[in-house]
């Protein structure tokens, strides 16, 4: 499949080269999941100013799209070759808490999910190049997938957002899916 050269300012999202089909899949999936969540839970943004609604939906779209983008070879390999970028990416993923603040719900749960996810992502990231990385990431993901639905009185739309946030950052992003970090050790473009 023909690969498109991605503009520099979009490398952190799509990597350096990505197929049009992959880009469309990422954007359509993120958009459809966000729209579906909004349609199924119309009370999600009740009584919120338009700016808070739009910003929350943008962050949700980012989470949903990022789940898919981070599984592509282009994005995974981009970060495998750039250790500092990967650390920065993990560190800045605070927007799950911002979503909860913007929507006015589940603030403490969002902080807990964020802390677990970021801690897990740093653990998984530290294992890049080791055979145990995928196993540890799978264990940490499984704990989150089993534990988040058990949280009492959790909003169902936040549960969906939390689950995909954990998938995005802890597993989809932090794992070197194509083993490029092993062959690119020392290459921090």
Residues 105-151 pLDDT 10s: 989 999 999 999 999 999 999 998 898 999 999 999 999 999 999 99
Q: Distance between CA 34 and CA 47 in Å, rounded?
A: 19
* Ramachandran angles phi, psi of 19, nearest 5°: -75, 150
Residue 128 in any domain: the answer is yes
Question: Taking phi first (over 0 means left), then psi (-120 to 50 degrees means alpha), and beta for anything else, what does residue 5 get?
Answer: beta
Residue 188 in any domain: the answer is no
Question: Percent of the chain at pLDDT above 90?
Answer: 66
Residue numbers of the domain that contains 64: 3-183
Residue 163 in any domain: the answer is yes
Q: 137 near 37, Cβ under 8 Å? A: no
Residue 115 in any domain: the answer is yes
Residue 127 in any domain: the answer is yes
Per DSSP, what are the bridge partners of residue 4?
Answer: 18
Q: Give the count of domains, the chain.
A: 1
pLDDT digits (tens, 9 = 90+) for 70-112: 888 888 888 888 888 889 989 999 999 999 999 999 899 999 9
Q: Is the pTM of this model over 0.85?
A: yes
Q: 35 near 92, Cβ under 8 Å? A: no
Q: Distance between CA 85 and CA 177 in Å, rounded?
A: 16
Q: Distance between CA 145 and CA 32 in Å, rounded?
A: 22
Residue 189 in any domain: the answer is no
Residue 77 in any domain: the answer is yes
């Amino acid at each position: 499949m023909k690969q498109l050269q991605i503009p520099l300012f979009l490398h952190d999202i799509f990597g350096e080269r990505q197929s049009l089909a992959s880009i469309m899949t990422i954007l359509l999936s993120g958009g459809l999941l966000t729209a579906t969540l909004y349609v199924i839970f119309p009370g999600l943004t009740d009584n919120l100013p338009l700016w808070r609604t739009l910003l929350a939906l943008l962050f949700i779209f980012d989470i949903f799209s990022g789940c898919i983008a981070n599984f592509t070879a282009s994005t995974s390999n981009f970060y495998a070759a750039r250790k500092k970028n990967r650390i920065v990416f993990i560190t800045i993923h605070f927007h799950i808490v911002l979503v909860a603040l913007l929507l006015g719900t589940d603030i403490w749960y969002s902080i807990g999910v964020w802390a677990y996810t970021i801690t897990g992502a740093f653990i998984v990231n530290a294992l890049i190049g080791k055979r145990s990385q995928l196993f540890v990431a799978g264990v940490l993901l499984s704990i989150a997938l089993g534990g988040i639905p058990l949280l009492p009185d959790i909003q169902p739309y936040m549960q969906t957002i939390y689950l995909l946030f954990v998938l995005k950052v802890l597993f989809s992003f932090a794992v070197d899916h194509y083993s490029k970090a092993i062959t690119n050790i020392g290459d921090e473009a």
